[in-house]
Amino acid sequence: MDQIFKRQIRSLHIAGQPVEIVLRQLAKADIQDIRTIAKDSFPKVWSESEFDFFINHEHGLCLGAFRESQLLGYLLCLLIQGELDVITVAVEPQLRRLHIAETLLRAALEFEMVEQAFLEVESQNQAAISFYEKVGFKKYGIRKKYYEGQRDALVMKIEKGRPGF
């Protein structure tokens, strides 16, 4: 996985200037930077070992978007028997709406072994739902009180061959 994504470069504009970003597989050394973005993105931040679980998982497909050495956003997934499970994604707040998350998620979906992908998203997180819909995910079901036994999760799915995939 590292071999493929290390070379994948996309251009985007930050403050009107074209900037090259590189996608690569995340490593343990990136966890502090991941947690910095997570702190600005979620009410509860995972511990270092929780991030490490996915980053070092034998089926982990965990990508970071970098401008030189600066982490701009991250995407953690598990890829097991053709099924991509999107665990979490976040982008540095000041760099949102620049298609960084979209670039990360599309790169994961392009991985040749992926046949379908699922995710859970908090049903009130309209920004994330709009984001996943733009990439082509469709609403698939609801998990009641999935988050801390209180808030519902929307389950979303995309299959290879469908629009957006």
Closest contact distance (angstroms) between CB of 102 and ligand COA is 3
Stretch that binds ligand COA, among 26-34, 56-64, 76-84, 85-93 (CB under 6 A): 85-93
Quote the CA–CA distance of 1 and 80 in Å, as a whole number.
14
Residue 153 binds ligand COA, judged by CB under 6 A: no
Residue 62 binds ligand COA, judged by CB under 6 A: no
Burial (CB count within 10 angstroms: exposed 0-12, middle 13-18, buried 19+), residue 88? buried
Quote the CA–CA distance of 132 and 119 in Å, as a whole number.
9
Quote the CA–CA distance of 19 and 65 in Å, as a whole number.
12
Stretch that binds ligand COA, among 15-23, 47-55, 124-132, 155-163 (CB under 6 A): 124-132
Residue 41 binds ligand COA, judged by CB under 6 A: yes
Residue 108 binds ligand COA, judged by CB under 6 A: no
Residue 66 binds ligand COA, judged by CB under 6 A: no
